[in-house]
Amino acid sequence: MSKYVFVGAVALTVVILDQFTKWLIVRDMTLHESIPVIDSLFHITYVRNRGGAFSILADQPDFLRLPFFLTVSVVAFSALVYFLRTVGEHQKLLLFALAGILGGAIGNFIDRVSVGTVVDFLDFHWRGYYFPAFNVADSFITTGTVVVLVYSLFVSEENRGF
């Protein structure tokens, strides 16, 4: 299987998983409804994020915010595809990480284009500290980015075969 087919299959799986979970949340919950999964630690909470990561630019008007995030998405897609060209077929972990980032970016891009906001619902908190709610796409973007950074910084050339 070529690296492009592998990355495409993983990215498509991430997009489907992301969009399906968001669809379930929108279908079954009301906005701001919260369901405790592990009390005082993890809830499923339906929110809509108008901004980027950590609600950056959420208070900006649509005519500024949406073109900005759509442009950033297109630039990110282009950079990922360019970087993908330099990764060897045998570097499966790195290919998986890039596919996760790509799939997550596409999942959130779909939300922004279709409704102008991103559905978030994974809500972690502990002892009065709250982490901003996020979604499946965000999870893959974050995890993939960490893998790419660790791989780039700490894996030597001769050990990049995994």
Please give the angle made by the CA atoms of 37, 97 and 56, to the nearest 5 degrees. 60
* Contact indicator for 148, 98 with CB cutoff of 8 Å: yes
Residue owning tokens 């087919």 = 5
Other CB atoms within 10 Å distance of the CB of residue 69: 22
Residue owning tokens 């009390």 = 39
* Contact indicator for 107, 23 with CB cutoff of 8 Å: no
Interatomic CA distance for residues 47 and 31, integer angstroms: 6
Interatomic CA distance for residues 96 and 7, integer angstroms: 7
Catalytic residue list: 120, 138
